[in-house]
Amino acid sequence: MQSLIYMNNAATSWPKPGCVADAVSEALCAPPGSANRGGIEDFDVFEETRKSLTQLMKGQHYNRIALGANSTWGLNLAIQGFPLKTGDTVVTTAAEHNSVLRPLYKLRRERHIKIIWVPVDDGGRVCPESWEKACYTYKPALCVLTHASNVTGAVNNICLLTHIAKQVNATVLIDASQTLGMVPVQIDDWNIDMLAFTGHKYLLGPQGTGGLYVKPGLHLEPLLCGGTGIQSDRKEMPPEMPIHLEAGTGNEPAYYGLLAALRWSEENPADIKRIELLTEHLKQGLADTGAAVIAPQGKCTPVVSFVIEGKSAAEIGYILTESYDIVCRSGLHCAPRIFTDLGCDSTVRLSLSRFTTEEEIKAVIQAVSSIMR
């Protein structure tokens, strides 16, 4: 029997390094960290994770990272916690995920903000000229954009796009769900105000981990209020970061897993050239079968979207999964607005990881060519 081919890493990565499951399991078996005094000699998994993430993001202020459930949590915190008032404008892009779109729609209903959508090119990338035009025309209070499209893999030039937004004094929120761990992120050099990330994709950690970086000096209203273990006599959330944004007991076992993954990745850096080469092989191989592959020029994450004329994405996804044990995703990928710009109504998405092999790529191409025949 042939084994499963996992090509759904843009949704959640698999496999994880073995040390991740070990760390989660050990954390569940050991007395919880919160049983300690939180003293100088006690190991604080959240603090160590913040430090490791700060290093990865090339930042300096580890206590500016709020840790929660995932990037959806971080994005909601950023969008709903940012002081947007009635009539304020948010500039965002057609490539955004529902975890950006839905909080924005909610604020449009509740606070009557204005949302401007910057289109993307037919590869799913934000065009700097359109971005600049929108920023200068609408003078937004907040700009929100994804570092990379989760549908096409196109990586945006965040350094340039942030620089443009800063020219009109906008605050910039980056969704790095698809990039952190796979594409370099430089929060300080790129002058990013807020950055949401998730632990279970290219960071190789468990689900239920992720959060938000908030630049020093920027104040957000917490989305949730509750216990913090400190200053319990106050009626409001303590003002110190990151506790200001972190009510309730954290997912300590999962964070042990994420920390193990981060440390493992530091010791075993991904061979990005190899992953890019495999992704190219896949795009070329699929195109050779006659499939219409979305192939953005320039820097991309290992995500490949394609369609086949005369067959729905749902049907192709079904055949690949059920008949060939190739785990993929078909449909809108929770980014419904991008499809107008891509010129199709849905895609089949294959997403690789550092563990994907050349044999798996060949098997996927062979399976797709059997569908084409």
Ligand X SMILES: Cc1ncc(COP(=O)(O)O)c(C=O)c1O
Comparing CB distances to ligand X, the nearer of 64 and 97 is 97
Residues of this chain, 207-226, that bind ligand X according to CB under 6 A? 210
What angle is formed at CA 52 by the lines to CA 159 and CA 65, rounded to 5 degrees? Answer: 65
**DSSP annotation of 120:** B
**What, of other proteins, ligand X, none, does residue 345 touch, CB below 5 to 8 Å by kind?**
other proteins
- Residue 93 phi/psi, 5-degree rounding, is -130, 165
- Residue 210 phi/psi, 5-degree rounding, is 155, 175
Task: Burial-class residue 271 by CB neighbours within 10 Å (0-12, 13-18, 19+).
Answer: exposed
Please choose, out of 44-52, 101-109, 123-131, 170-178, the segment that lies near ligand X by the rule CB under 6 A.
170-178
Answer yes or no whether residue 70 interacts with ligand X by CB under 6 A.
yes
d(CA 232, CA 218): 24
Contact flags string 325-344 toward ligand X, x per CB under 6 A = ---------x----------
Nearest distance in Å: CB 202, other proteins: 20
Answer yes or no whether residue 340 interacts with other proteins by CB under 8 A.
no
Cα separations (Å) of 239 from 164, 212, 228, 231?
31, 16, 11, 10
Residues of this chain, 129-158, that bind other proteins according to CB under 8 A? none
d(CA 35, CA 162): 42
**What, of ligand X, other proteins, none, does residue 218 touch, CB below 5 to 8 Å by kind?**
none
Note whether 143 and 314 are within 8 A (CB): no
Comparing CB distances to ligand X, the nearer of 160 and 334 is 334
Answer yes or no whether residue 305 interacts with ligand X by CB under 6 A.
no
Contact flags string 109-148 toward ligand X, x per CB under 6 A = -------------------------------------x--
Task: Using DSSP bridges, classify how beta strands 171-175 and 194-198 pair: parallel, antiparallel or unpaired.
Answer: parallel
Find, among 14, 335, 44, 333, the residue nearest to 200 by Cα. 14
Answer yes or no whether residue 99 interacts with ligand X by CB under 6 A.
yes
Residues of this chain, 282-321, that bind other proteins according to CB under 8 A? 313-315, 318-319
- Go through 318-334 and write b for each residue having 16 or more CB atoms within 10 A of its CB, e for each that does not: ebbbeebebbbbbebbb
Note whether 330 and 314 are within 8 A (CB): yes
Choose which of 70, 71, 301, 330 interacts with other proteins (CB under 8 A).
Answer: 330
Comparing CB distances to ligand X, the nearer of 54 and 152 is 152
Looking up tokens 């990865």 gives: 56
Alpha helices (H) in the chain, listed in sequence order: 18-29, 45-56, 71-81, 98-111, 128-138, 158-167, 252-267, 272-289, 313-318, 324, 338-342, 358-372
Nearest distance in Å: CB 212, ligand X: 11
Choose which of 244, 333, 337, 354 interacts with other proteins (CB under 8 A).
Answer: 333
**What, of ligand X, other proteins, none, does residue 370 touch, CB below 5 to 8 Å by kind?**
other proteins
Contact flags string 89-128 toward other proteins, x per CB under 8 A = ----------------------------------------
Comparing CB distances to other proteins, the nearer of 186 and 323 is 323
Looking up tokens 């959240």 gives: 46
Find, among 188, 85, 104, 89, the residue nearest to 146 by Cα. 104
**What, of ligand X, other proteins, none, does residue 332 touch, CB below 5 to 8 Å by kind?**
other proteins
Please choose, out of 46-54, 209-217, 279-287, 365-373, the segment that lies near other proteins by the rule CB under 8 A.
365-373
Q: What residues line the site for other proteins (CB under 8 A)?
A: 2, 313-315, 318-319, 322-324, 329-334, 336, 345-346, 367, 370-371, 373
Write out the residues near ligand X by the rule CB under 6 A.
Answer: 11, 70-72, 97, 99, 146, 150, 175, 177-178, 198, 210, 334
